[in-house]
A and B are shown apart, each in its own frame.
Chain A
Protein backbone atom coordinates (compact mmCIF):
# COMPACT_ATOMS: atom_id res chain seq x y z
CA UNK A 1 0.00 0.00 0.00
CA UNK A 2 2.84 2.36 0.91
CA UNK A 3 4.53 1.63 -2.38
CA UNK A 4 1.36 2.43 -4.30
CA UNK A 5 1.11 5.81 -2.58
CA UNK A 6 4.79 6.51 -3.32
CA UNK A 7 4.31 5.54 -6.95
CA UNK A 8 1.31 7.85 -7.42
CA UNK A 9 3.24 10.76 -5.82
CA UNK A 10 6.16 10.22 -8.20
CA UNK A 11 3.86 10.06 -11.23
CA UNK A 12 2.13 13.28 -10.17
CA UNK A 13 5.50 14.99 -9.92
CA UNK A 14 6.41 13.70 -13.36
CA UNK A 15 3.09 14.91 -14.71
CA UNK A 16 3.73 18.38 -13.38
CA UNK A 17 7.26 18.29 -14.93
CA UNK A 18 5.68 17.37 -18.25
CA UNK A 19 3.38 20.33 -18.06
CA UNK A 20 6.21 22.74 -17.19
CA UNK A 21 8.29 21.73 -20.23
CA UNK A 22 5.75 22.93 -22.73
CA UNK A 23 5.78 26.68 -22.80
CA UNK A 24 3.43 29.07 -24.50
CA UNK A 25 5.41 29.02 -27.71
CA UNK A 26 6.96 26.23 -29.68
CA UNK A 27 10.65 25.74 -29.12
CA UNK A 28 12.57 23.59 -31.52
CA UNK A 29 15.18 22.61 -28.91
CA UNK A 30 12.57 21.34 -26.49
CA UNK A 31 10.68 19.47 -29.20
CA UNK A 32 13.92 17.93 -30.45
CA UNK A 33 14.91 16.86 -26.93
CA UNK A 34 11.57 15.13 -26.54
CA UNK A 35 12.08 13.34 -29.84
CA UNK A 36 9.61 15.33 -31.96
CA UNK A 37 12.14 16.00 -34.69
CA UNK A 38 9.76 16.64 -37.58
CA UNK A 39 7.74 19.12 -35.56
CA UNK A 40 10.98 20.72 -34.36
CA UNK A 41 12.21 21.05 -37.95
CA UNK A 42 9.11 22.94 -38.99
CA UNK A 43 9.36 25.25 -35.97
CA UNK A 44 13.03 25.94 -36.57
CA UNK A 45 12.61 26.76 -40.27
CA UNK A 46 9.77 29.16 -39.54
CA UNK A 47 11.83 30.79 -36.78
CA UNK A 48 14.88 31.27 -38.99
CA UNK A 49 12.76 32.58 -41.85
CA UNK A 50 11.73 35.53 -39.70
CA UNK A 51 15.20 36.35 -38.38
CA UNK A 52 17.64 38.64 -40.09
CA UNK A 53 20.71 37.64 -38.10
CA UNK A 54 21.15 33.92 -37.89
CA UNK A 55 22.96 32.43 -34.97
CA UNK A 56 25.31 29.53 -35.50
CA UNK A 57 23.62 27.50 -32.76
CA UNK A 58 20.30 27.80 -34.60
CA UNK A 59 21.87 26.74 -37.87
CA UNK A 60 23.56 23.78 -36.20
CA UNK A 61 20.24 22.71 -34.72
CA UNK A 62 18.62 22.96 -38.15
CA UNK A 63 21.33 20.81 -39.69
CA UNK A 64 20.97 18.26 -36.91
CA UNK A 65 17.21 18.12 -37.39
CA UNK A 66 17.53 17.61 -41.14
CA UNK A 67 19.91 14.72 -40.55
CA UNK A 68 17.41 13.11 -38.20
CA UNK A 69 14.46 13.61 -40.55
CA UNK A 70 15.26 13.86 -44.25
CA UNK A 71 16.07 16.66 -46.63
CA UNK A 72 12.83 16.10 -48.56
CA UNK A 73 10.98 17.51 -45.56
CA UNK A 74 12.15 20.95 -46.75
CA UNK A 75 10.86 20.59 -50.31
CA UNK A 76 7.57 22.29 -49.54
CA UNK A 77 9.15 25.47 -48.17
CA UNK A 78 9.68 28.61 -50.22
CA UNK A 79 13.06 28.48 -51.93
CA UNK A 80 13.73 32.11 -51.23
CA UNK A 81 13.44 31.35 -47.53
CA UNK A 82 15.72 28.34 -47.83
CA UNK A 83 18.29 30.27 -49.84
CA UNK A 84 18.96 32.45 -46.79
CA UNK A 85 19.95 29.48 -44.65
CA UNK A 86 23.68 28.71 -44.98
CA UNK A 87 23.29 25.07 -44.03
CA UNK A 88 24.90 22.31 -46.09
CA UNK A 89 21.76 20.16 -46.31
CA UNK A 90 19.70 23.09 -47.54
CA UNK A 91 22.34 23.97 -50.10
CA UNK A 92 22.36 20.41 -51.31
CA UNK A 93 18.58 20.47 -51.68
CA UNK A 94 18.65 23.77 -53.60
CA UNK A 95 21.47 22.48 -55.81
CA UNK A 96 19.60 19.29 -56.60
CA UNK A 97 16.39 21.16 -57.45
CA UNK A 98 18.36 23.49 -59.75
CA UNK A 99 19.97 20.43 -61.40
CA UNK A 100 16.54 18.92 -62.05
CA UNK A 101 15.54 22.19 -63.73
CA UNK A 102 18.79 22.11 -65.77
CA UNK A 103 20.06 25.33 -64.21
CA UNK A 104 23.63 24.08 -64.13
CA UNK A 105 25.36 27.29 -63.04
CA UNK A 106 23.07 27.79 -60.08
CA UNK A 107 23.24 24.10 -59.19
CA UNK A 108 27.03 24.16 -59.20
CA UNK A 109 27.13 27.18 -56.90
CA UNK A 110 25.09 25.35 -54.29
CA UNK A 111 26.57 21.89 -54.59
CA UNK A 112 30.26 22.81 -54.29
CA UNK A 113 29.51 24.06 -50.77
CA UNK A 114 28.56 20.63 -49.46
CA UNK A 115 31.55 19.55 -47.33
CA UNK A 116 33.19 16.15 -47.46
CA UNK A 117 31.99 15.05 -44.00
CA UNK A 118 28.39 15.71 -44.95
CA UNK A 119 25.88 12.94 -45.61
CA UNK A 120 24.97 14.33 -49.02
CA UNK A 121 28.52 14.90 -50.21
CA UNK A 122 28.67 11.83 -52.51
CA UNK A 123 25.34 12.68 -54.08
CA UNK A 124 26.42 16.29 -54.57
CA UNK A 125 29.57 15.06 -56.31
CA UNK A 126 27.46 12.80 -58.49
CA UNK A 127 25.44 15.75 -59.73
CA UNK A 128 28.58 17.82 -60.24
CA UNK A 129 30.10 14.99 -62.28
CA UNK A 130 27.01 14.85 -64.48
CA UNK A 131 27.12 18.59 -65.10
CA UNK A 132 30.88 18.55 -65.76
CA UNK A 133 30.37 15.82 -68.36
CA UNK A 134 27.65 17.84 -70.08
CA UNK A 135 29.96 20.84 -70.14
CA UNK A 136 32.70 18.72 -71.73
CA UNK A 137 35.06 18.99 -68.77
CA UNK A 138 36.46 15.48 -68.71
CA UNK A 139 39.05 16.11 -65.99
CA UNK A 140 36.53 17.61 -63.60
CA UNK A 141 34.06 14.85 -64.38
CA UNK A 142 36.57 12.13 -63.55
CA UNK A 143 37.55 13.84 -60.31
CA UNK A 144 33.94 14.21 -59.16
CA UNK A 145 33.14 10.62 -60.14
CA UNK A 146 36.06 9.31 -58.16
CA UNK A 147 35.12 11.37 -55.10
CA UNK A 148 31.51 10.25 -55.31
CA UNK A 149 32.30 6.59 -55.80
CA UNK A 150 35.02 6.30 -53.13
CA UNK A 151 33.23 8.28 -50.41
CA UNK A 152 29.90 6.54 -51.03
CA UNK A 153 31.60 3.12 -50.84
CA UNK A 154 33.32 4.08 -47.55
CA UNK A 155 30.07 5.32 -46.01
CA UNK A 156 28.27 2.14 -47.08
CA UNK A 157 30.78 0.19 -44.97
CA UNK A 158 30.52 2.55 -42.00
CA UNK A 159 26.77 3.11 -41.52
CA UNK A 160 24.69 0.61 -39.58
CA UNK A 161 21.21 1.55 -40.74
CA UNK A 162 20.22 -0.90 -43.54
CA UNK A 163 18.32 1.86 -45.32
CA UNK A 164 21.35 4.17 -45.39
CA UNK A 165 23.66 1.31 -46.26
CA UNK A 166 21.57 0.53 -49.32
CA UNK A 167 21.39 4.23 -50.25
CA UNK A 168 25.20 4.62 -50.20
CA UNK A 169 25.78 1.31 -51.97
CA UNK A 170 23.41 2.20 -54.80
CA UNK A 171 24.93 5.69 -55.00
CA UNK A 172 28.42 4.25 -55.28
CA UNK A 173 27.26 2.01 -58.11
CA UNK A 174 25.54 4.95 -59.79
CA UNK A 175 28.80 6.92 -59.73
CA UNK A 176 30.70 4.07 -61.32
CA UNK A 177 27.97 3.65 -63.93
CA UNK A 178 28.06 7.39 -64.61
CA UNK A 179 31.63 7.08 -65.86
CA UNK A 180 30.69 4.27 -68.23
CA UNK A 181 27.65 6.18 -69.48
CA UNK A 182 29.61 9.34 -70.19
CA UNK A 183 32.25 7.36 -72.09
CA UNK A 184 29.42 5.84 -74.13
CA UNK A 185 28.02 9.29 -74.87
CA UNK A 186 31.45 10.42 -76.03
CA UNK A 187 31.54 7.50 -78.46
CA UNK A 188 34.29 5.67 -76.57
CA UNK A 189 32.42 2.39 -76.64
CA UNK A 190 35.30 0.03 -75.87
CA UNK A 191 36.33 2.06 -72.82
CA UNK A 192 32.70 2.15 -71.80
CA UNK A 193 32.55 -1.67 -72.03
CA UNK A 194 35.69 -1.97 -69.89
CA UNK A 195 34.15 0.28 -67.24
CA UNK A 196 30.88 -1.64 -67.20
CA UNK A 197 32.87 -4.84 -66.78
CA UNK A 198 34.28 -3.56 -63.49
CA UNK A 199 30.85 -3.33 -61.88
CA UNK A 200 30.25 -6.14 -59.43
CA UNK A 201 27.63 -8.68 -60.53
CA UNK A 202 26.20 -8.65 -57.04
CA UNK A 203 25.42 -4.93 -57.20
CA UNK A 204 21.86 -3.64 -57.28
CA UNK A 205 22.43 -1.85 -60.59
CA UNK A 206 24.06 -4.71 -62.42
CA UNK A 207 20.90 -6.18 -64.02
CA UNK A 208 20.03 -2.78 -65.47
CA UNK A 209 23.58 -2.05 -66.63
CA UNK A 210 23.74 -5.27 -68.66
CA UNK A 211 21.51 -3.63 -71.24
CA UNK A 212 23.75 -0.56 -71.46
CA UNK A 213 26.82 -2.75 -71.89
CA UNK A 214 24.97 -4.62 -74.64
CA UNK A 215 24.35 -1.29 -76.41
CA UNK A 216 28.08 -0.52 -76.21
CA UNK A 217 28.91 -3.89 -77.80
CA UNK A 218 26.25 -3.27 -80.45
CA UNK A 219 27.88 0.04 -81.37
CA UNK A 220 31.27 -1.59 -81.86
CA UNK A 221 29.56 -4.18 -84.10
CA UNK A 222 30.21 -7.03 -81.67
CA UNK A 223 26.66 -8.31 -82.14
CA UNK A 224 27.39 -11.78 -80.79
CA UNK A 225 28.50 -10.41 -77.45
CA UNK A 226 25.55 -8.01 -77.37
CA UNK A 227 23.11 -10.87 -77.97
CA UNK A 228 24.88 -12.96 -75.34
CA UNK A 229 24.45 -10.24 -72.74
CA UNK A 230 20.79 -9.86 -73.55
CA UNK A 231 20.07 -13.58 -73.28
CA UNK A 232 21.06 -13.24 -69.61
CA UNK A 233 17.62 -11.77 -68.99
CA UNK A 234 16.12 -15.16 -69.88
CA UNK A 235 17.75 -16.74 -66.85
CA UNK A 236 15.46 -17.52 -63.88
CA UNK A 237 17.47 -15.21 -61.60
CA UNK A 238 16.54 -12.19 -63.66
CA UNK A 239 13.00 -13.21 -64.55
CA UNK A 240 11.52 -10.38 -62.47
CA UNK A 241 13.37 -7.72 -64.49
CA UNK A 242 11.26 -6.24 -67.26
CA UNK A 243 13.34 -4.45 -69.82
CA UNK A 244 11.44 -4.19 -73.11
CA UNK A 245 14.38 -2.37 -74.62
CA UNK A 246 16.35 -5.63 -74.38
CA UNK A 247 13.97 -7.12 -76.95
CA UNK A 248 14.48 -4.35 -79.45
CA UNK A 249 18.24 -4.54 -79.10
CA UNK A 250 18.06 -8.31 -79.64
CA UNK A 251 16.02 -7.77 -82.80
CA UNK A 252 18.48 -5.12 -83.99
CA UNK A 253 21.43 -7.41 -83.32
CA UNK A 254 19.92 -10.14 -85.49
CA UNK A 255 18.95 -7.57 -88.11
CA UNK A 256 22.48 -6.19 -88.41
CA UNK A 257 23.76 -9.71 -88.98
CA UNK A 258 21.03 -10.16 -91.62
CA UNK A 259 19.43 -12.98 -89.65
CA UNK A 260 16.04 -11.66 -90.64
CA UNK A 261 13.95 -14.63 -89.60
CA UNK A 262 15.41 -14.58 -86.09
CA UNK A 263 14.70 -10.87 -85.84
CA UNK A 264 11.10 -11.44 -86.93
CA UNK A 265 10.67 -14.14 -84.28
CA UNK A 266 11.88 -11.73 -81.58
CA UNK A 267 9.51 -9.04 -82.82
CA UNK A 268 6.55 -11.41 -82.79
CA UNK A 269 7.44 -12.64 -79.31
CA UNK A 270 7.59 -9.05 -78.08
CA UNK A 271 4.09 -8.37 -79.28
CA UNK A 272 2.78 -11.65 -77.92
CA UNK A 273 4.41 -11.21 -74.50
CA UNK A 274 4.12 -7.53 -73.82
CA UNK A 275 0.78 -6.77 -75.41
CA UNK A 276 -1.42 -8.59 -72.85
CA UNK A 277 0.77 -7.46 -69.97
CA UNK A 278 0.68 -3.85 -71.05
CA UNK A 279 -3.06 -3.99 -71.52
CA UNK A 280 -3.54 -5.35 -68.00
CA UNK A 281 -1.26 -2.69 -66.56
CA UNK A 282 -2.94 0.06 -68.55
CA UNK A 283 -6.37 -1.04 -67.35
CA UNK A 284 -5.19 -0.85 -63.75
CA UNK A 285 -3.55 2.54 -64.29
CA UNK A 286 -6.65 4.03 -65.91
CA UNK A 287 -8.88 2.74 -63.14
CA UNK A 288 -6.77 4.28 -60.39
CA UNK A 289 -5.11 7.22 -62.12
CA UNK A 290 -6.82 9.76 -59.86
CA UNK A 291 -6.25 7.85 -56.66
CA UNK A 292 -3.97 9.44 -54.08
CA UNK A 293 -3.31 6.22 -52.22
CA UNK A 294 -3.68 3.20 -54.52
CA UNK A 295 -0.10 3.17 -55.77
CA UNK A 296 1.22 3.91 -52.32
CA UNK A 297 -0.59 0.80 -51.07
CA UNK A 298 0.78 -1.16 -54.03
CA UNK A 299 4.33 -0.32 -53.00
CA UNK A 300 3.94 -1.64 -49.50
CA UNK A 301 1.88 -4.75 -50.10
CA UNK A 302 3.16 -7.95 -48.64
CA UNK A 303 4.02 -10.89 -50.88
CA UNK A 304 0.74 -12.56 -49.91
CA UNK A 305 -1.30 -9.51 -50.89
CA UNK A 306 0.51 -9.23 -54.22
CA UNK A 307 -0.44 -12.79 -55.15
CA UNK A 308 -4.00 -11.55 -55.65
CA UNK A 309 -2.87 -9.12 -58.35
CA UNK A 310 -2.17 -9.79 -62.01
CA UNK A 311 1.28 -11.50 -61.93
CA UNK A 312 2.87 -8.90 -64.18
CA UNK A 313 1.59 -6.00 -62.10
CA UNK A 314 2.77 -7.72 -58.94
CA UNK A 315 6.25 -8.25 -60.36
CA UNK A 316 6.47 -4.70 -61.67
CA UNK A 317 5.33 -3.32 -58.31
CA UNK A 318 8.04 -5.42 -56.62
CA UNK A 319 10.66 -4.11 -59.03
CA UNK A 320 9.61 -0.47 -58.51
CA UNK A 321 9.35 -0.77 -54.73
CA UNK A 322 12.93 -2.00 -54.44
CA UNK A 323 14.29 1.40 -55.39
CA UNK A 324 16.07 3.15 -52.48
CA UNK A 325 13.71 6.11 -52.56
CA UNK A 326 10.75 4.06 -51.44
CA UNK A 327 12.67 2.59 -48.53
CA UNK A 328 13.76 6.06 -47.39
CA UNK A 329 10.28 7.51 -47.79
CA UNK A 330 8.69 4.60 -45.94
CA UNK A 331 11.14 5.04 -43.08
CA UNK A 332 10.39 8.77 -42.91
CA UNK A 333 6.64 8.12 -43.08
CA UNK A 334 6.82 5.65 -40.20
CA UNK A 335 8.71 8.22 -38.12
CA UNK A 336 6.21 10.98 -38.93
CA UNK A 337 3.26 8.73 -37.99
CA UNK A 338 4.90 7.70 -34.77
CA UNK A 339 5.73 11.28 -33.89
CA UNK A 340 2.21 12.42 -34.72
CA UNK A 341 0.71 9.74 -32.46
CA UNK A 342 3.05 10.62 -29.59
CA UNK A 343 2.37 14.33 -29.91
CA UNK A 344 -1.37 13.63 -29.98
CA UNK A 345 -1.04 11.69 -26.71
CA UNK A 346 0.88 14.57 -25.12
CA UNK A 347 -1.69 17.06 -26.39
CA UNK A 348 -4.62 15.10 -25.01
CA UNK A 349 -2.78 14.82 -21.72
CA UNK A 350 -2.57 18.60 -21.31
CA UNK A 351 -5.13 20.45 -19.29
CA UNK A 352 -7.74 22.38 -21.24
CA UNK A 353 -6.22 25.75 -20.25
CA UNK A 354 -2.60 24.78 -20.94
CA UNK A 355 -0.55 27.47 -22.61
CA UNK A 356 1.00 25.02 -25.10
CA UNK A 357 -2.26 23.75 -26.62
CA UNK A 358 -2.41 26.33 -29.40
CA UNK A 359 1.01 25.76 -30.93
CA UNK A 360 0.89 22.03 -30.25
CA UNK A 361 -2.32 21.76 -32.21
CA UNK A 362 -0.65 23.66 -35.02
CA UNK A 363 2.33 21.29 -34.90
CA UNK A 364 -0.01 18.31 -35.08
CA UNK A 365 -1.61 19.77 -38.20
CA UNK A 366 1.85 20.24 -39.73
CA UNK A 367 2.73 16.63 -38.99
CA UNK A 368 -0.52 15.48 -40.51
CA UNK A 369 0.21 17.57 -43.62
CA UNK A 370 3.73 16.12 -43.74
CA UNK A 371 2.32 12.62 -43.56
CA UNK A 372 -0.14 13.32 -46.39
CA UNK A 373 2.66 14.84 -48.45
CA UNK A 374 4.82 11.77 -47.98
CA UNK A 375 1.98 9.41 -48.91
CA UNK A 376 1.17 11.59 -51.92
CA UNK A 377 4.82 11.68 -52.93
CA UNK A 378 5.20 7.90 -52.75
CA UNK A 379 1.93 7.46 -54.62
CA UNK A 380 2.95 9.96 -57.31
CA UNK A 381 6.40 8.46 -57.93
CA UNK A 382 5.08 4.88 -58.10
CA UNK A 383 2.28 5.93 -60.48
CA UNK A 384 4.67 7.91 -62.64
CA UNK A 385 7.13 5.01 -62.89
CA UNK A 386 4.37 2.66 -64.02
CA UNK A 387 2.98 5.13 -66.55
CA UNK A 388 6.50 5.66 -67.86
CA UNK A 389 6.84 1.89 -68.30
CA UNK A 390 3.68 1.68 -70.40
CA UNK A 391 4.69 4.68 -72.51
CA UNK A 392 8.11 3.14 -73.02
CA UNK A 393 6.60 -0.13 -74.22
CA UNK A 394 4.44 1.67 -76.79
CA UNK A 395 7.39 3.70 -78.01
CA UNK A 396 9.57 0.62 -78.37
CA UNK A 397 6.85 -1.31 -80.19
CA UNK A 398 6.81 1.46 -82.81
CA UNK A 399 10.57 1.10 -83.20
CA UNK A 400 10.22 -2.65 -83.56
CA UNK A 401 7.64 -2.12 -86.25
CA UNK A 402 10.19 -0.04 -88.19
CA UNK A 403 12.66 -2.90 -87.92
CA UNK A 404 10.02 -5.24 -89.30
CA UNK A 405 9.34 -2.91 -92.23
CA UNK A 406 13.04 -2.66 -92.94
CA UNK A 407 13.39 -6.46 -92.94
CA UNK A 408 10.48 -6.79 -95.37
CA UNK A 409 12.08 -4.17 -97.60
CA UNK A 410 15.44 -5.96 -97.56
CA UNK A 411 13.80 -9.26 -98.38
CA UNK A 412 12.01 -7.62 -101.29
CA UNK A 413 15.33 -6.27 -102.55
CA UNK A 414 16.72 -9.78 -102.54
CA UNK A 415 13.78 -11.08 -104.54
CA UNK A 416 13.95 -8.28 -107.10
CA UNK A 417 17.67 -8.73 -107.47
CA UNK A 418 17.30 -12.51 -107.81
CA UNK A 419 19.60 -12.95 -104.88
CA UNK A 420 19.58 -14.74 -101.58
CA UNK A 421 21.58 -14.48 -98.40
CA UNK A 422 24.74 -16.51 -98.29
CA UNK A 423 23.55 -19.21 -95.93
CA UNK A 424 20.62 -20.42 -93.99
CA UNK A 425 20.55 -19.97 -90.24
CA UNK A 426 23.03 -22.35 -88.79
CA UNK A 427 23.97 -23.02 -85.19
CA UNK A 428 27.00 -20.75 -85.32
CA UNK A 429 30.57 -21.68 -84.60
CA UNK A 430 33.20 -20.94 -82.00
CA UNK A 431 35.38 -19.02 -84.44
CA UNK A 432 32.87 -16.20 -84.28
CA UNK A 433 33.21 -15.73 -80.52
CA UNK A 434 35.39 -12.76 -79.72
CA UNK A 435 36.87 -12.50 -76.28
CA UNK A 436 39.56 -10.52 -74.57
CA UNK A 437 42.36 -12.17 -72.62
CA UNK A 438 40.45 -11.49 -69.41
CA UNK A 439 37.39 -13.40 -70.57
CA UNK A 440 37.00 -17.13 -70.25
CA UNK A 441 34.70 -19.28 -72.36
CA UNK A 442 32.32 -22.10 -71.43
CA UNK A 443 29.87 -23.81 -73.71
CA UNK A 444 26.18 -23.58 -72.92
CA UNK A 445 24.60 -26.91 -71.98
CA UNK A 446 21.07 -25.76 -71.13
CA UNK A 447 21.79 -24.38 -67.67
CA UNK A 448 22.41 -20.88 -66.41
CA UNK A 449 25.20 -20.77 -63.82
CA UNK A 450 25.13 -17.71 -61.62
CA UNK A 451 28.81 -16.84 -62.03
CA UNK A 452 28.52 -17.05 -65.81
CA UNK A 453 25.66 -14.62 -66.02
CA UNK A 454 26.65 -11.54 -67.99
CA UNK A 455 29.49 -13.31 -69.81
CA UNK A 456 27.58 -15.12 -72.53
CA UNK A 457 28.36 -14.66 -76.19
CA UNK A 458 26.76 -16.04 -79.33
CA UNK A 459 28.84 -17.49 -82.17
CA UNK A 460 26.72 -16.53 -85.14
CA UNK A 461 28.26 -15.74 -88.48
CA UNK A 462 27.35 -12.56 -90.26
CA UNK A 463 24.83 -13.49 -92.93
CA UNK A 464 24.84 -10.32 -94.98
CA UNK A 465 26.78 -11.51 -98.03
CA UNK A 466 24.49 -12.28 -100.96
CA UNK A 467 24.74 -14.74 -103.80
CA UNK A 468 22.95 -14.98 -107.09
CA UNK A 469 19.84 -17.04 -106.82
CA UNK A 470 20.07 -19.94 -109.28
CA UNK A 471 16.87 -20.93 -111.09
CA UNK A 472 16.75 -24.73 -111.66
CA UNK A 473 16.57 -25.70 -115.35
CA UNK A 474 13.36 -27.44 -116.46
CA UNK A 475 13.87 -30.83 -118.10
Chain B
Protein backbone atom coordinates (compact mmCIF):
# COMPACT_ATOMS: atom_id res chain seq x y z
CA UNK B 1 0.00 0.00 0.00
CA UNK B 2 2.74 2.32 0.89
CA UNK B 3 4.55 1.53 -2.23
CA UNK B 4 1.59 2.29 -4.34
CA UNK B 5 1.10 5.65 -2.67
CA UNK B 6 4.72 6.53 -3.12
CA UNK B 7 4.62 5.60 -6.76
CA UNK B 8 1.56 7.79 -7.32
CA UNK B 9 3.25 10.83 -5.76
CA UNK B 10 6.37 10.30 -7.92
CA UNK B 11 4.12 10.13 -10.97
CA UNK B 12 2.28 13.41 -10.19
CA UNK B 13 5.44 15.29 -9.43
CA UNK B 14 7.11 14.16 -12.57
CA UNK B 15 4.05 15.31 -14.53
CA UNK B 16 4.21 18.75 -12.98
CA UNK B 17 7.87 19.06 -13.63
CA UNK B 18 7.32 18.10 -17.26
CA UNK B 19 4.44 20.72 -17.51
CA UNK B 20 6.58 23.82 -16.55
CA UNK B 21 7.79 25.36 -19.72
CA UNK B 22 9.65 28.56 -20.18
CA UNK B 23 7.51 31.46 -21.40
CA UNK B 24 9.13 34.39 -23.07
CA UNK B 25 7.23 37.74 -23.06
CA UNK B 26 7.92 40.25 -25.79
CA UNK B 27 6.65 43.92 -25.69
CA UNK B 28 6.14 46.43 -28.47
CA UNK B 29 9.08 48.70 -28.73
CA UNK B 30 7.08 51.54 -30.52
CA UNK B 31 3.36 52.44 -30.58
CA UNK B 32 1.73 55.34 -32.44
CA UNK B 33 -1.67 56.97 -31.68
CA UNK B 34 -3.40 59.12 -34.31
CA UNK B 35 -5.61 61.41 -32.23
CA UNK B 36 -7.17 63.02 -35.29
CA UNK B 37 -8.46 59.69 -36.33
CA UNK B 38 -10.28 59.13 -33.17
CA UNK B 39 -14.01 59.03 -33.43
CA UNK B 40 -16.62 59.13 -30.73
CA UNK B 41 -19.99 57.77 -31.59
CA UNK B 42 -22.87 59.42 -29.90
CA UNK B 43 -25.41 62.43 -29.98
CA UNK B 44 -24.67 66.07 -29.25
CA UNK B 45 -27.27 67.27 -26.78
CA UNK B 46 -25.63 70.39 -25.37
CA UNK B 47 -26.61 73.76 -27.03
CA UNK B 48 -24.12 75.40 -29.21
CA UNK B 49 -24.24 78.77 -27.42
CA UNK B 50 -24.84 79.93 -23.92
CA UNK B 51 -28.31 81.51 -23.40
CA UNK B 52 -30.83 82.01 -20.66
CA UNK B 53 -34.26 80.60 -21.34
CA UNK B 54 -36.98 83.00 -20.31
CA UNK B 55 -38.98 81.59 -17.49
CA UNK B 56 -42.73 81.80 -17.75
CA UNK B 57 -43.64 84.85 -15.68
CA UNK B 58 -47.03 84.86 -14.14
CA UNK B 59 -48.77 87.90 -15.54
CA UNK B 60 -51.52 89.49 -13.55
CA UNK B 61 -53.74 91.51 -15.78
CA UNK B 62 -55.57 94.09 -13.83
CA UNK B 63 -59.16 94.83 -14.72
CA UNK B 64 -58.87 98.48 -15.59
CA UNK B 65 -61.67 100.97 -15.19
CA UNK B 66 -64.24 101.20 -17.95
CA UNK B 67 -67.71 102.64 -18.15
CA UNK B 68 -70.33 100.19 -19.29
CA UNK B 69 -73.29 102.51 -18.81
CA UNK B 70 -74.42 105.84 -17.42
CA UNK B 71 -77.38 104.60 -15.39
CA UNK B 72 -76.16 106.36 -12.26
CA UNK B 73 -75.92 109.60 -14.21
CA UNK B 74 -79.54 109.20 -15.36
CA UNK B 75 -80.71 108.70 -11.80
CA UNK B 76 -78.62 111.64 -10.67
CA UNK B 77 -80.17 113.82 -13.37
CA UNK B 78 -83.67 113.01 -12.18
CA UNK B 79 -82.74 113.62 -8.57
CA UNK B 80 -81.15 116.97 -9.34
CA UNK B 81 -84.02 118.04 -11.58
CA UNK B 82 -86.47 118.64 -8.79
Point out residues on A near B: beta carbons under 8 Å: 70-72, 96, 99-100, 123, 126-127, 130, 167, 170-171, 174, 177-178, 181, 184-185, 208, 212, 215, 219, 248, 252, 255, 323-325, 328, 381, 385, 396, 399, 402-403, 405-406, 409, 413, 416-417
- Classify the secondary structure of B's interface with A: loop
- Given A72-B82, A170-B81, A212-B70, is A416 in contact with B57 using a C-beta cutoff of 8 Å? yes
Give A127 to B74 CA distance when docked, in angstroms: 10
Q: Does B39 contact A (CB under 8 A)?
A: no
- A396 CB to closest chain B CB (Å) equals 8
Interface size class of chain B, counting residues whose CB lies under 8 Å from the partner chain: 20 to 34
In the complex, chain A residues whose CB is within 8 Å of the CB of B63: 402
In the complex, chain A residues whose CB is within 8 Å of the CB of B71: 181, 185
State which of B62, B69, B78 has its C-beta within 8 Å of the C-beta of A402: B62
Give A295 to B77 CA distance when docked, in angstroms: 20
- Classify the secondary structure of A's interface with B: helix
Q: Nearest chain-A residue to B57 (Cβ)?
A: A416
Q: Does B17 contact A (CB under 8 A)?
A: no
Point out residues on B near A: beta carbons under 8 Å: 54, 57, 59-71, 73-75, 77-82
Cβ-defined contact, A324 with B80, below 8 A: yes
Cβ-defined contact, B79 with A181, below 8 A: no
In the complex, chain A residues whose CB is within 8 Å of the CB of B54: 416-417
- Given A130-B74, A409-B60, A416-B57, is A185 in contact with B82 using a C-beta cutoff of 8 Å? no
Cβ-defined contact, A399 with B65, below 8 A: yes
**15 interchain pairs, CB-CB under 8 A:** A70-B82, A96-B78, A100-B75, A123-B81, A126-B78, A127-B78, A174-B77, A212-B70, A324-B80, A381-B79, A381-B80, A399-B64, A402-B65, A406-B64, A416-B54
- Given A174-B77, A402-B64, is A181 in contact with B82 using a C-beta cutoff of 8 Å? no
Cβ-defined contact, A178 with B81, below 8 A: no
- A447 CB to closest chain B CB (Å) equals 31
- Given A184-B69, A184-B70, is A328 in contact with B64 using a C-beta cutoff of 8 Å? no
Cβ-defined contact, A174 with B62, below 8 A: no
- Given A181-B73, A181-B74, A185-B69, is A325 in contact with B62 using a C-beta cutoff of 8 Å? no
- B59 CB to closest chain A CB (Å) equals 8
Cβ-defined contact, A324 with B82, below 8 A: yes
Q: Interface centre among B59, B63, B66, B78, by most A CB within 10 Å? A: B78
Cβ-defined contact, B80 with A325, below 8 A: yes
